[in-house]
Structure 1
Amino acid sequence: MRNLVLSLSASVFLAACGQQLPVAIDDMASQTVSDIACKDQKLEEKLYDGLKSYLIEQKTIPTAEELKSAMKIHVDKLSKKNPRMTAAQTAQVQKDLDGLVDSLLAEAPQGERVENSDQLLILLSAIDVGDRSTTFRNYMQDRVRANFNQLSTTVRAMDLNCPEDSGTGSGSNNASGTDPVQPTTPEIEVNSDFEYHKKQAVAAGVPLAVFGERWALATAYQSCNSVKIPALDDSVGDIQGIAITGKHSDGVGNKRMIASLSKVQTTHPYLKEESNYPSSCFNVRQNPLIYDYGGKPYATTASSSPINFFKNSGSGTSVLGIDCSAYVYSSMATVGLRVKEGRALKGSDSWAWGSTAFVEPAKNGLTCLSKITVTPDMSLKAGDIVAVPGHVLLVDKVGADPFGIANARTTSDCSKITSEDFDFSVAQSSPSKEGVGINHSVAKDYLPTSEKMKAGLQKYAYYACLAKINAKNYTPNLGTLSVIRHKGTSACMDKRVVLAQESCIQSCSSSVFTR
């Protein structure tokens, strides 16, 4: 692992037991040990949020040794304040914390060859939410879970005094015997225009996920007209003015930058017809969003943080733009669709879910999503999610016969179906058209540019055809591709996450989202 040296000025360092530690590191250690003393049930969530906030704000990686040293200082203070705490218990708490910190800040980044704070932020976010999409992440889930369980076992056996000013709100050892004051979370302002448009869309039969992706697309381009643009097909030319400048650090995705702003402005299908933006809007024409492999919307770990498409973030380039999984998550979150039961929607979780996690939702803790069972009467719906390792998208619109199976009469006919027979469109963020980014595309014209997606959906169409021919239900096991659907249960609904600058599209006609 390549540990990056913290380059903070002397003014943000403090002296503690002869050591110089960054204030942010000391604060994180102090909060964690205070949570231990109060047996706070949210210790895990708060530690993850503390680490992620540090990475977002400091833009550098804290070393495991720094955080362990800071933890030791505060564990020693805890021991002094708790005379019943034995030397053996003090040593065990420190050992448990050392193991946890080593897992998160040494073993995890080393295993994924993390090189910068953005990459570690994505990795820790994935571990936080339960991602098991790779062999290493599967291992790290068990490793970190064992660390937290061990720490919990140690703490439960101890009789500790909860500091009165801890603010943890556990109440388990509160000397006053009264319920401590719970920290308040700022309420997210209700966007009445959003709620009105959502109500109209639902009344018109538009699934929530579809309304969400259209709302996100209009917000990203700061334009009502963007949703009216027909889904991109083969007749739409490639964007000009975007240059590939190298490979992403994973060696797979390309890095893209804007080489000629004027060419992008005149050839980008979602920008070329736009010229004027109200003062309340972000001028996307002057600062175009294009496809950014590894790009994520900006957010903080606060529950009230909006998802911001207009502030560069993620492990991509300095260009504005987001990748496929960030768009899918943002589309779901902005209409209050959880992807995991029991986990509140947060803007910062747009970092957590990679495309591969959607391929096996049950394995990766995406408990609000399930693979679709095709029946003689139903195979694909608007709002469904299609995922392969490396890409994930939402289905925007479906025709009466989305897989072109209406005329199939035999199993042999089913074997002949190809993507050219498909009749549906998709919402995605992709490198299509030389890097368009967020877009709607005609499936049969897009799929030839993604062989894995094309091959998987053709197999899926085959099962849909078999269901019709044989009058049976099938849950296709396609290995590298999954078609999944949100459960829509109350446990999978939550307060929506606001999108930054969404007020720009509040004057849109509801017909934009119900087309």
Structure 2
Amino acid sequence: MRNLILSMSASVLLAGCGQQYSVAVDGMASQTVSDIACKNQQLEEKLYDGLKSYLIEQKNIPSATELKSAFKTQVEKLAQDNPRMTAEQQSRIQSNLDQLVDSLLEEAPQGERVETSEQLLGLLSAIDVGDRSTTFRSYMQDRVRSNFNQLATTVKAMDLECPPTGDSTQSTEGGSATTPVEPTTPQIEANPDYDYHKKQAVAAGVPLAVFGERWALATAYQSCNSLEIPALNDSVADIKGIAITGKHSDGVGNKRVIASLSQVQATHPYLKEVSSYGSACFNVRQNPLIYDYGGKPYATTSSTSPIDLFKNGGDGTSVLGIDCSGYVYTSMATAGLRLKEGRALKASDSWAWGSTSYVEPQSNGLTCLSKITVTPSMSLKAGDIVAVPGHVIIIDRVGADPFGISTAQTVSDCSKITSDVFDFTVAQSSPSKEGVGINHSIAKDYLPTSEKMKAGLQKYAYYACLAKFNAKNYTPSLGTLSVVRHKGTSACTDKRVVLARESCIQSCSSSAFTQ
């Protein structure tokens, strides 16, 4: 009898889960086909957001077969509402949708050997924004674009009736809503002093990208004092209490866990001096944010969703913390800086661009970024982004001679410049100091731990030196490392993305963001 009860309970549970998944899939199909009928040019956005919402909320990869079936039901309803539609036209729409589903839910994940919903979320986000950082992603860009174009061509030739507003939000006969359930959005706790601090920073000449990364760092540690901690250098001891438990599925990144909370609290440079937090704050000492390879901040696809650094969004380990590209996107988004012209800033786009995308930004959808040109009087600037495949950082501060060009007496000395004469600091989320995570570091002390960054920036220093001696401008194109700068145009700015619990740093002095 006990086994029978357990079996029945499991069946009910599975049925409930299946119904939940089915409602979400039906909602995606309903919204997409409704957009087909109305020809309102939101089909792509709605389909991508529907898929991403499903992956975020359900923590499960949707079935291509189930989505095709849901599309079939909705296309049949579309045909019923449009008597002039022929059977051939109905079949063509269905075929176009099936091909699109095959590309997004079968071919794309198979090509990158996707194993988790978080991995698929990252891949679909990358395809959505135009990432061509690998041969396969470039192929999928063309493949999916062809699918959407074919569907648009099919629909354009038809005379369809757009359902009345709200029609697609009605319930089915069984009582289940056919639209996607709006993802739960964390409470937005916007800091009322944000605009004031931003204005003061801009007046002081601080680039918005720098203001954004400082705002993100202070929010991450829930402390204004975190911005007063000197940039990490060789004299700062490694953190204790963080253990490596293995490798991620790519065989590259390490998996880290907190093995001893007390040791982390006592040795983490951004935590050891903090004794308490305000009532609006997250207790970071009890739940430290450390470096999490592949980790992204939590967000929903809602246009009002904040970026939440204090809730695990995957695809790293169970610890709190984000990776380098997650931090760079957070910094840019909270400063209101788009990465792609005309694309509205959304918290969920933190999944879209990895470090490799920044190396060739114009080819990967980051049209608001351009490679810098070094001139006889200008090279590296605060706010610039430096990227190699595997890591991306933001320049926080620069000295009068960031690349140490003054050490070269003749043009032949340009090739001898090394990183030990660099004079700038970087903002990053990195495994430095055995897994510190979000940090500011002195470049000349950090770079020896990242050979690709060091070698690439030394080449930039070489070109900056040549620019000085030859009185020429150079735009380095190394292929292995790029320094890129935000355009700052109106097409590349937008309403900012709020960070969860940023109200905790309401008491910060503006000097914390301008020093």
Give the TM-score of the pair, scaled to structure 1: 0.93
Letter in 1 for 2:15: A
Is 1:443 the counterpart of 2:425? The answer is no
Is 1:204 the counterpart of 2:204? The answer is yes
Tell me the SS of whatever aligns to 1:428.
strand
Letter in 1 for 2:291: Y
1:473 is matched with which residue?
Answer: 473
CA deviation map 1:63-119 (0-9, x unaligned): 111100111111112112211111110110000000000000000000000001000
1:353 is matched with which residue?
Answer: 353
**Greater RCO (CA < 8 Å, at least 6 residues apart):** 2
State the distance in 2 between where 1:311 and 1:8 align. Answer: 26
1:173 is matched with which residue?
Answer: none
Q: List structure 1 segments (4+ residues) > 2 angstroms apart after TM superposition.
A: 6-14, 165-169, 186-192
Is 1:235 the counterpart of 2:250? The answer is no
State the distance in 2 between where 1:355 and 1:26 align. Answer: 35
State the distance in 2 between where 1:44 and 1:330 align. Answer: 24
2:396 is matched with which residue?
Answer: 396
State the distance in 2 between where 1:429 and 1:440 align. Answer: 9
Tell me the SS of whatever aligns to 2:311.
coil
C-alpha contact (below 8 Å) 2:219/2:504 kept by paired residues: yes
Is 1:139 the counterpart of 2:139? The answer is yes
C-alpha contact (below 8 Å) 2:189/2:500 kept by paired residues: no
Identical residues among aligned pairs (%): 80
CA deviation map 1:47-68 (0-9, x unaligned): 0000000000000001111100
1:411 is matched with which residue?
Answer: 411
Within a 5 Å distance, the mapping from 1:453-492 to structure 2 comes to 453-492=453-492
1:313 is matched with which residue?
Answer: 313
1:60 is matched with which residue?
Answer: 60
1:369 is matched with which residue?
Answer: 369
State the distance in 1 between where 2:422 and 2:203 align. Answer: 27
2:174 is matched with which residue?
Answer: none
State the distance in 2 between where 1:416 and 1:300 align. Answer: 49
C-alpha contact (below 8 Å) 1:409/1:469 kept by paired residues: no
Letter in 1 for 2:249: S
Distance change (3 Å), C-alpha of 1:258 and 1:128: same
Letter in 2 for 1:28: M
State the distance in 1 between where 2:194 and 2:17 align. Answer: 42
2:420 is matched with which residue?
Answer: 420
2:502 is matched with which residue?
Answer: 502
- Please give the root-mean-square deviation of Cα atoms over the aligned residues, in Å: 1.9
Give the TM-score of the pair, scaled to structure 2: 0.93
Shift, 1:411, TM fit: 2.1
C-alpha contact (below 8 Å) 1:429/1:438 kept by paired residues: yes
State the distance in 1 between where 2:460 and 2:22 align. Answer: 54
Distance change (3 Å), C-alpha of 1:387 and 1:21: closer
Tell me the SS of whatever aligns to 1:159.
coil
State the distance in 2 between where 1:483 and 1:22 align. Answer: 46
Letter in 2 for 1:354: G
1:178 is matched with which residue?
Answer: none
Is 1:39 the counterpart of 2:39? The answer is yes
CA deviation map 1:323-362 (0-9, x unaligned): 0001001101101011110100000001111000000011
- List gaps (5 residues or longer) in structure 1: 1-5, 15-19, 170-182
Letter in 2 for 1:444: K
Shift, 1:13, TM fit: 5.2
Distance change (3 Å), C-alpha of 1:381 and 1:247: same
Shift, 1:40, TM fit: 2.2
C-alpha contact (below 8 Å) 1:314/1:351 kept by paired residues: no
1:254 is matched with which residue?
Answer: 254
Tell me the SS of whatever aligns to 1:140.
helix
Tell me the SS of whatever aligns to 1:425.
strand
State the distance in 1 between where 2:26 and 2:477 align. Answer: 49
State the distance in 1 between where 2:17 and 2:334 align. Answer: 37
Letter in 2 for 1:221: Y
State the distance in 2 between where 1:40 and 1:240 align. Answer: 55
State the distance in 2 between where 1:316 and 1:188 align. Answer: 24
CA deviation map 1:135-169 (0-9, x unaligned): 11000000000000000000011111111145689
Shift, 1:192, TM fit: 3.3
Question: Which range is displaced more, 278-287 or 408-417?
Answer: 408-417
- List gaps (5 residues or longer) in structure 2: 1-10, 170-181
Within a 5 Å distance, the mapping from 1:29-178 to structure 2 comes to 29-166=29-166
State the distance in 1 between where 2:235 and 2:409 align. Answer: 33
Distance change (3 Å), C-alpha of 1:12 and 1:446: closer
1:194 is matched with which residue?
Answer: 194
Distance change (3 Å), C-alpha of 1:298 and 1:167: farther
Distance change (3 Å), C-alpha of 1:238 and 1:189: closer
Write 1 or 2 for the structure with the bigger share of helix: 2
CA deviation map 1:471-511 (0-9, x unaligned): 11000111100000001111111000000000000100111
State the distance in 2 between where 1:466 and 1:292 align. Answer: 39
Distance change (3 Å), C-alpha of 1:79 and 1:338: same
Distance change (3 Å), C-alpha of 1:378 and 1:35: same
Distance change (3 Å), C-alpha of 1:243 and 1:12: closer
C-alpha contact (below 8 Å) 1:35/1:168 kept by paired residues: no
C-alpha contact (below 8 Å) 2:289/2:321 kept by paired residues: yes
State the distance in 2 between where 1:432 and 1:68 align. Answer: 46
Distance change (3 Å), C-alpha of 1:411 and 1:44: same
State the distance in 2 between where 1:8 and 1:208 align. Answer: 49
